[in-house]
Chain A
């Protein structure tokens, strides 16, 4: 079918609106409607990936208008992979979140599902689109819905965290919009492929340089690269856990995808690495981000916040890898988009299961959890090992590519940061394991947050978290295939 590329985005959009209507009619129906929309999306994304693998990239013209005037969706190997990832993670999270939503935000479940699907629509659209302004609009859809979901979380701090997130998010998106404006001045076009063709032939001008800097800066703010990361830990840790589970793996990773798309497709490899001399400075920035993220994670006393700082650290990996300017580094960065999304998803699924049972994840609340929730903790350990980078989990392979890339470039500081941050992650997670394994469990009366005895989380949540944790090993075993079939043909 020719319409799969657009179905990926339209199915969750329409079901979001339907679910919004059903909030007034029959709220219980919102959940199956939203789930069906995402199922269509996953199905179409997998079909698109198969199609792209078989016969090269797909162009979809919206409403039949040809590209420079109309909006086009252009799906190549890279975004076909990211589309599968985003829709898959969103779908699995929705299955796992049915029980948590009932517990955490039961009075607003219907509205939550509506916003959730709009959020996923935005992420999928950002990934699929081949138009610069369309990208801005979809980024704003994603951001607006994530502000709303953060505000639904912690009743005391949620709204304030959300407001700070809005301020920074607006600055980031506005910078990106300004950059697109300068590109439009220079080229008179908004289509990515068209813009790329025009600026490739034109002599380097300060307008293009301004556009590049503004776009990249805007995207960096959105992805929380180190000095611009302050909004992330609060926003992710005060939001409802059903939402942190999907925003933590997806939002920042999709923004990394946008950065790579801008660097490779729009501005072009030659412009970014030969005309400009920014790459070394950015790799240094990424090095600092990796170390700072790790060190700040060490200082946290809450598991959710600790994981949020680990995301800041992982963003440093991907930005550094992409800016190393060689094939290995870029391969590592793209592979890490996939792997890091899966690892973070697995970690946050574990956190979700724990929160479902004991409501709070301060490190001191976790005492004796291995005995009480063995399956959840098993999945969590697997994900943690992957973050640390223990083979055969997938985290090892992307770190390996990043490391090889850094050594080939001679960026020893970045290579050192990769190794040091792996050690920091090992320290962090073994601290958590120690508390969970060796310290005696608190009993109902001592732990103010638990209601009755702690036991294993519901089966629906366990199956998903087990599945995702096992997928980490599968992704590790198949990482060679992913690199050979998807990333190397994409880089050309």
Chain B
């Protein structure tokens, strides 16, 4: 138990992403309303985005733009001074994917509502079995 606390504090970003992910998963599984499920799905995807961004982070590092004035004076560029840009770039793509999925899910929900006049899953199931 004594070892656990430092472990949580030192790697709190990973704990946060797991907690967020589980909140999202819980909403997707347990909620009855379709909009809530879709929001849960979005939280789930956001958790992974946070995970990726946090693995690229370094303490006391700046944004990864190398000024031409620095290199012109023969200064050595140290990788430790800059955060890893790759993970953030990857997440730009993942954000596009999650926005597209979210938008499409919402469009489907509109269609479901127009057809059945409800978004509660148990009511939908009753309608479908009629």
Contacts and interface: CB of A to CB of B under 8 A. Distances in A.
Interface in A111-153: 133, 136-137, 140, 144, 147-148, 151
Contacts of B105: 163, 166
B112 A159 contact: yes
Nearest to A189: B86
Interface string B28-69: 100000100100010011001001100100000000000000
A185 B44 CA distance: 20
Tell me the dominant secondary structure on chain A's binding face.
Answer: helix
Interface in A140-192: 140, 144, 147-148, 151, 155-157, 159-160, 162-163, 166-167, 170-171, 173-174, 177-178, 181, 184-185
Given A159-B111, A159-B115, A170 B45 contact: yes
B28 A151 contact: no
Interface stretch (B2-10, B70-78, B87-95): B87-95
B52 A181 contact: yes
B28 A166 contact: no
B128 interface: yes
B91 to A, nearest CB: 10
Contacts of A170: 41, 44-45, 101
B94 A156 contact: no
Contacts of A173: 97
A156 to B, nearest CB: 7
A121 to B, nearest CB: 15
Contacts of A137: 93, 97
B80 interface: no
B122 to A, nearest CB: 13
B51 A178 contact: yes
A144 B104 contact: yes
B100 interface: yes
Contact of A174 (B34, B45, B87): B45
A184 B55 contact: yes
Interface string B99-112: 01100110011011
Query: Which interface class (under 10, 10 to 19, 20 to 34, 35 or more) fits A?
Result: 20 to 34
Interface residues of B, number: 27
Given A137-B97, A160-B128, A166 B41 contact: yes
B80 to A, nearest CB: 14
Given A159-B111, A171-B28, A166 B44 contact: no
Contact of B55 (A144, A155, A162, A181): A181
A89 B122 CA distance: 39
Contacts of A184: 55, 87
Contacts of B25: 171
Contacts of B55: 181, 184-185
Nearest to B90: A133
9 contacts: A137-B93, A157-B128, A163-B108, A166-B41, A171-B25, A174-B48, A177-B94, A181-B51, A181-B87
Given A140-B97, A151-B111, A181-B55, 14 more contacts: A155-B115, A156-B115, A159-B111, A160-B112, A163-B108, A163-B109, A171-B28, A171-B44, A174-B44, A174-B45, A174-B48, A178-B48, A181-B87, A185-B55
